[in-house]
Amino acid sequence: MGLDVEYGELVMPGLEIVAIPAFADNYLWLMHDQASGETAVVDPGDPAPVLAEANRRGWRITKILNTHWHPDHTGGNLAIKEATGAQIWGPAGENGRVPGLDHPLAEGDRIRVGDHEAEVWEVPGHTIGHIAYIFREDDIAFVGDTLFAMGCGRLFEGSPEQMFTSLNRLAALPEETRLYCAHEYTLGNARFAAHAFPSNQAIANRLQHVELRRSGGHSTVPTTVALERDTNPFLMAANSDEFAQLRLAKDQFR
Ligand SMILES: [Zn+2]
């Protein structure tokens, strides 16, 4: 099933973030700073829809930001660089698997899009080098496949301890922080959450809301730290063992 989301969102005066649906359920994010004219694309798995959307808006992509090496997040790197001259920033810790990486990033590094500055956090678990871009002053975070609305990424490379730490670190951001994750997985996540925590009213309410949104073809992303603290089952784990059990149960949930 493809995605049909509302395009374009003025997050605050001068800053726009646009969701570009790709593949079955990915969101590729365009971030445009009106004052400087800078446009960054986060995790461009597919170059064609990214270039088409940027052209349609008259935006020139100047920066490519990757959260991790998976091809549905980096597959468009080289074609977009070729078409626009954009430079590529991404995790230093992915053992050379990010195509065309110009600027390897590690914990504590900073990157700007116009006047907006992001801190780089290492949030291993889904992959070993996974990073997130935390625009603190804007209350925005691009979290890739680490934290999803009501869910989290699968543990392909990291340990439960690492993912548990990464998720709780993101959840400790200010509650109004908007979390831009890379997939529309919310309905499946919400069903699992309701199954795992059947007496949790906040989860039941959100499941109902998500069912309505999705049946109307609407996006459920971004989410917020406040919503995730209330309804993300993986943030309800008291420790990494409980987290590991939940993650395993989700992997097996149909
Ligand atoms: Zn991934």
pLDDT in tens, the chain (254 residues): 334 444 457 777 889 999 999 999 999 999 999 999 999 999 999 999 999 999 999 999 999 999 999 999 999 999 999 999 999 999 999 989 999 999 999 999 999 999 999 999 999 999 999 999 999 999 999 999 999 999 999 999 999 999 999 999 999 999 999 999 999 999 999 999 999 999 999 999 999 999 999 999 999 999 999 999 999 999 999 999 999 999 999 999 98
218 is a catalytic site residue: no
130 is a catalytic site residue: no
190 vs 194: CA distance, rounded Å: 6
70 is a catalytic site residue: yes
Which pTM value belongs to this model? 0.96
173 vs 196: CA distance, rounded Å: 25
The Å distance, Cα 199 to ligand 1 centre, comes to 31
The single residue of 33, 43, 46, 72 carrying the catalytic annotation is: 72
The Å distance, Cα 128 to ligand 1 centre, comes to 11
The single residue of 32, 116, 126, 130 carrying the catalytic annotation is: 126
The Å distance, Cα 60 to ligand 1 centre, comes to 26
The Å distance, Cα 70 to ligand 1 centre, comes to 5
With contact defined as beta carbons under 8 Å apart, do 188 and 212 qualify?
A: no
Q: Is 23 left (phi over 0), alpha (psi -120 to 50) or beta?
A: left
For residue 130, the cross-strand partners are none
- SS3 letters across 23-55: CCCEEEEEEEECCCCCEEEECCCCHHHHHHHHH
> Which pLDDT value is given to residue 8?
56
Mean pLDDT of the chain: 95
74 vs 51: CA distance, rounded Å: 14
The single residue of 68, 116, 138, 230 carrying the catalytic annotation is: 68
The single residue of 32, 73, 116, 130 carrying the catalytic annotation is: 73
The Å distance, Cα 7 to ligand 1 centre, comes to 23
The Å distance, Cα 66 to ligand 1 centre, comes to 11
> What are the angstrom distances between the C-alpha of 181 and each of 144, 151, 222?
5, 10, 7
The Å distance, Cα 130 to ligand 1 centre, comes to 9
72 is a catalytic site residue: yes
Token duo for residue 97 = 């698997």
> Which pLDDT value is given to residue 7?
47
The Å distance, Cα 71 to ligand 1 centre, comes to 8
The Å distance, Cα 67 to ligand 1 centre, comes to 9
Looking at residue 233, the DSSP 8-state letter turns out to be G
Give, rounded to a whole angstrom, the gap between the first and last alpha carbons of the chain.
17
The single residue of 43, 46, 139, 145 carrying the catalytic annotation is: 145
User: How does 31-58 read in b/e, with b if 16+ C-beta sit within 10 Å?
Assistant: bbbeeeebbbbbbbbbbebbbebbeeee
Looking at residue 220, the DSSP 8-state letter turns out to be -
Q: Residue 68, class by beta-carbon neighbours within 10 Å (0-12 exposed, 13-18 middle, 19+ buried)? A: buried
145 is a catalytic site residue: yes
Q: Are strands 39-42 and 61-65 parallel, antiparallel or unpaired?
A: parallel
Q: What is the DSSP string of 62-91?
A: EEEE-SS--HHHHTTHHHHHHHH--EEEEE
pLDDT per position as a tens digit, 54-71: 999 999 999 999 999 999
User: How does 196-229 read in b/e, with b if 16+ C-beta sit within 10 Å?
Assistant: bbeebeebbebbeebeeebeeeebbbbbbbebbe
Q: Residue 167, class by beta-carbon neighbours within 10 Å (0-12 exposed, 13-18 middle, 19+ buried)? A: buried
Question: Cβ contacts of residue 12 below 8 Å, gap of 6+?
Answer: 138
